[in-house]
Amino acid sequence: VHAALAGHAVAARRHAPQDRRLSGAATAMVLNGAYLVDRAGLDGFRALAEALADRHPELRLELTGPWPAYSFVAEPAAESAWP
């Protein structure tokens, strides 16, 4: 699912799944993805998500957003404390 959605996005990031106590969902989250989509591609992205949901009825796909730009920023690599 992530690979298909990421292929239709300008940028994509996988974030840690949220705990059910925070999300309020009855089932565990297995994918927490953020996808940066051009306005022109938004309808196609939604159609792809719907097709994936139909193909995988055991999953609940939920589109939300728009999300802030920091959702797509990679964390910097840790620097060594030793020179």
pTM of the model: 0.78
pLDDT at 7 over 90: yes
Provide the pLDDT confidence category of residue 71 given band limits of 50, 70 and 90: confident
Provide the pLDDT confidence category of residue 3 given band limits of 50, 70 and 90: very high
- What are the CA-CA distances from residue 6 to residues 2, 3, 28, 30, 55 (Å)? 6, 5, 22, 16, 17
What is the rounded average pLDDT of the residues 43-48? 96
